[in-house]
Structure 1
Amino acid sequence: MNRLHLSSGFVRQSLVGLKLLVVMTVVLGVVYPAAVWGISQTAFHEKANGQIVSVDGKDVGSKLIGQNFATKDDDLFHGRPSAGDYDGLASAPSNLGPSNPDLLSAIKKRQATIAAIEGVDVADIPADAVTASGSGLDPYISPEYARLQVPRVAKARGLTTGAIEKLVADHTDGRQLGFLGEPKVNVLELNLALPDR
């Protein structure tokens, strides 16, 4: 009788545990994710979907992910370098320390390339132009790097530097809440604002 009592108690507890597993799986695996998805689609639709930017019905990028805008015409603003070659699946920093010879070599190479493309002295190139961000997919550049590129973009598009400088100023976001972070320029939005040639 004692064994029968132990056996029925084990079965009862196992059934309770199984019921709890099913209920929690439904609540935490279906109901909760569906509720979060529904709220985000209703209240924050654009942000919940990756802030995709479309032009004439065609998706051209995300406001949140950097792209390689270097073209042979050099008529677009360039973004920050990417440690993962702008591959969203390989989003990561290079993990090279500031004294690593490979990183120093890459920075010097980037400085030389930018100095040649922009026609400026290496000392005038801001840090974000030659260093990748932590994600390797930073969609922003500093206003200084954007202004450095103004003469090249203006010349390639046949526009005045004043017109391009105004676009840079119009697309410069200030510090968050007025005091957090640094001013920044979203490269995708700035490039899309450029008038057609």
Structure 2
Amino acid sequence: MLSLLRPALTLLIALSLITGLAYPLLTTGIARLVFPYQAAGSLLERDGKAVGSLLIGQGFSDPKYFWSRPSATSPMAYNPLSSGGSNLGPLNPALADAIKSRIDALHTADPGNKATVPADLVYSSASGLDPHISIAAALYQAGRVARVRNLPVDRVRELIAGHSETMLFGFLGEPRVNVLALNLALDATH
């Protein structure tokens, strides 16, 4: 029995050191050398202080800002420790209530906007942490943001265009806007 146990324990310790310590340290070291900004979390700073990451969404509810895609993480929205969707099925009344309340909030913030609300402003994502909204969702909010900030709507649309990202490799995903980057650009606009 001991002759079987010794090689098994040796292999367990060796593989634990290789896969649990050496490999993560190696990949982290390479990432920090090759992609230092991304490996550090793609943090955005304002006045020398980190205000968020380009990779994790944040909630914005002030009408002067573009609003992010809703988050269904718990116990609070945009909780990176609890990434996940609501798991509410299409016939669940709680989903219908959540969507209705999100649409009502958008209409309350911008009562004159009669355009169709883009889906990504009312449906949470599978991760609950998406930092992007569609170009249509940004343009839907442009009038409200321009009005509240006393900016020409064309200037706000220019900011959206300037912060728009194309499809990855020209065919993956959809054109999008990073909400945090766009809102920081808005704050920098005088």
Using the alignment, how far apart are the partners of 2:83 and 2:20 within structure 1? 27
Residue 76 (structure 1) aligned to one of 46, 65, 72? 65
Q: TM-score, normalised by structure 2?
A: 0.88
Residue type at the aligned position of 1:97: G
Indicate the structure (1 or 2) with the bigger Cα radius of gyration. 1
Contact persistence 1:140–1:184 (CA under 8 A): yes
Matched, 1:128 2:120: yes
- In the TM superposition, 1:52-91 aligns within 5 A as 52-71=43-62, 74-84=63-73, 85-91=77-83
Q: CA RMSD in A?
A: 1.8
Matched, 1:118 2:107: no
Give structure 1 stretches of 5+ with no counterpart.
1-9
After TM superposition, the structure 1 stretch with the greater mean CA deviation from structure 2, 107-116 or 182-191, is: 107-116
Using the alignment, how far apart are the partners of 1:142 and 1:13 within structure 2? 58
Equivalent residue of 1:178, what SS?
coil
What's the CA shift for 1:18?
3.9
Using the alignment, how far apart are the partners of 2:6 and 2:88 within structure 1? 54
Using the alignment, how far apart are the partners of 1:146 and 1:18 within structure 2? 57
Using the alignment, how far apart are the partners of 2:5 and 2:172 within structure 1? 53
- In the TM superposition, 1:157-172 aligns within 5 A as 157-172=149-164
Between the two proteins, what is the percent identity of the paired residues? 43
Equivalent residue of 1:132, what SS?
coil
Matched, 1:35 2:26: yes
What residue number does 1:109 align with?
Answer: 101
What's the CA shift for 1:155?
1.9
What residue number does 1:182 align with?
Answer: 174
Residue type at the aligned position of 2:128: G
Matched, 1:98 2:82: no
What's the CA shift for 1:91?
1.7
Moved over 6 A (4+): none
Using the alignment, how far apart are the partners of 1:170 and 1:61 within structure 2? 20
Q: TM-score, normalised by structure 1?
A: 0.85
Using the alignment, how far apart are the partners of 1:166 and 1:185 within structure 2? 12
Give structure 2 stretches of 5+ with no counterpart.
none
